[in-house]
Amino acid sequence: MNLDETIVAIATPPGRGGIGVVRLSGPEAKAAALAMLRLPQVAELASHRAQLAQLIDLSSGERLDEVVVTWFAAPHSYTTDDVVEIACHGAPVILQRAVEMALEHANVRLAEPGEFTARAFFNGRLDLTQAEAVRDLIDAQTLYQAKVAARQLKGELSRVVRPIKDSLLALIAGMEAGIDFAEDDVEVMPTEEILASIAAVEGQLGALAAGFAYGRLVRDGLTLAIVGRPNVGKSSLFNRLVERERAIVTAQPGTTRDLVTESVALGGIPVHLVDTAGLREAIDEAENIGIRKSMEALADADLVLVALDGSAERAASDDELLADLEGRAAIVVVNKHDLGTQLTLQTSLPVVHTSALTGEGIAALRENILRLMRASGAESGGALVTNLRQQQSVEAARNSLAAAAESARNKVPHEMILLDLYGALRALDELTGATTADDILNRIFSTFCIGK
């Protein structure tokens, strides 16, 4: 990536809208913008001030649009370079023409996906966890996800990692001093002190790692499958949870032949609901395929709702299904409570009585789903490890610390212990992006949209 080049892209989503924004960043951003703008009231752009202007077609000199242009002078911009944003009316043809005219300027090229944020990272405006938070904020589907991403963008994770790294550096410096200045009567750090320092750092990293399950849940959501025998009310429960008639409901068993999916938000976390075909001996090939898909959905689900008919005696297949789900995140939903209860159960799984017809028990069911979601990881009001890359960096640091502690207990020379401690330090640097391989950076920023 050549940071001396000026880049341009449409920064708003494709399609028509009231406003569309063309963004330029780099040393030629201001000059390229001024070449296609006419400022009716002033002769110069003022930094951090929105100004009315006319967009002029360079080939004909005709006015294309009335726009609002804002110049952010370096280093006080998103990328720390000169940045110009031209807000046009959102006609795709106007936006595309503005980009084409910018490209006619020397040393201006189209931006790659995520290149504006990548420049902010390379120029020290953001660290890698903050850059990833930008993508998470753009991709947020719920307000809670957006709030978590906004906290990460402010540097919550970096602020938690910084004192951990400082403690590790202090340990390394103390051990290095004992080795390098032994002839100056600097004492070699005792094993007990080394182990205590490692344990303190490991404890902080362990707390951070423990939040990964919940952080991933917040970022990616979970899949919830509704399973059970035919005609127990799975589709009616599904419709109640999505709060609309999404799945077909009839009195005839086996209505659902394929997986029906819908996404909802529970407690600010996206939940991907899957309504499945009833589990029984199939009567035709289509139903057999549907049941096979149901079993696959059951195996892949993060959380399972086992729907049972509360107005009838339980079947042997119900007992088998409940036994198979012992130890998994699952809730037993005894449905059709409005018809009376004949069902008796012996299970350690949480049980909720509902009536999908009247809505009775649906609120309690949602509460139980939320409780199980929160139990999957420690809910945190602060920093969260939200993706696999971050988790792998934390675990790599913990593994290096474990190796260093083992070496210290075995009285291995301090030079060897330091190798593992430096390994932990490198892993923490990779977490924030202080030292990260180019292929990892390319993979991260390639998932961004163009224009961000």
- What pLDDT was estimated at residue 441? 82
The pLDDT of residue 35 is above 90: yes
Name which of 383, 433, 441 is nearest 218 in CA terms.
Answer: 383
Over residues 154-164, the pLDDT tens digits come to: 999 999 999 99
As a whole number, the mean pLDDT across the chain is 86
Cα dihedral angle (430, 435, 436, 437), rounded to 10 degrees? Answer: -140
Tell me the mean pLDDT in the region 315-339.
85
The pLDDT of residue 48 is above 50: yes
- What pLDDT was estimated at residue 379? 52
Q: Which of 288-297, 315-324, 378-387 has the lowest mean pLDDT?
A: 378-387
- What pLDDT was estimated at residue 183? 54
Tell me the mean pLDDT in the region 195-208.
93
Question: Residue 373 belongs to what H/E stretch?
Answer: helix 362-375
The pLDDT of residue 21 is above 90: yes
The pLDDT of residue 250 is above 50: no
The pLDDT of residue 103 is above 90: yes
- What pLDDT was estimated at residue 42? 67
Q: What is the largest CA-CA distance in the chain?
A: 89
Distance CA 204, CA 317 (A): 47
Question: Residue 55 belongs to what H/E stretch?
Answer: strand 50-56
Q: Which band of pLDDT confidence, cut at 50, 70 and 90, is reported for residue 433?
A: confident
Q: Provide, rounded to the nearest whole percent, the portion of the chain with pLDDT above 90.
A: 46
DSSP 8-state symbol, 269: E
Q: Which residues pair with 124 in a beta bridge?
A: none
- What pLDDT was estimated at residue 288? 64
Q: What is the pTM of this model?
A: 0.79
Q: Provide, rounded to the nearest whole percent, the portion of the chain with pLDDT above 70.
A: 90
Give the helix ranges, DSSP H, for 211-284: 212-220, 234-242
Name which of 299, 276, 307, 305 is nearest 289 in CA terms.
Answer: 276
Q: Which band of pLDDT confidence, cut at 50, 70 and 90, is reported for residue 249?
A: very low
Distance CA 79, CA 64 (A): 28
Tell me the mean pLDDT in the region 399-421.
93
The pLDDT of residue 375 is above 80: no
Contact call for residues 307 and 227 (beta carbons, < 8 A)? yes
User: Looking up tokens 């990833």, which residue turns up?
Assistant: 132
Tell me the mean pLDDT in the region 380-392.
81
The pLDDT of residue 89 is above 70: yes
Over residues 275-308, the pLDDT tens digits come to: 887 775 555 566 567 777 888 888 888 888 988 8
Distance CA 8, CA 204 (A): 42
Distance CA 52, CA 123 (A): 30
Alpha-carbon 259 to chain mean position: 26
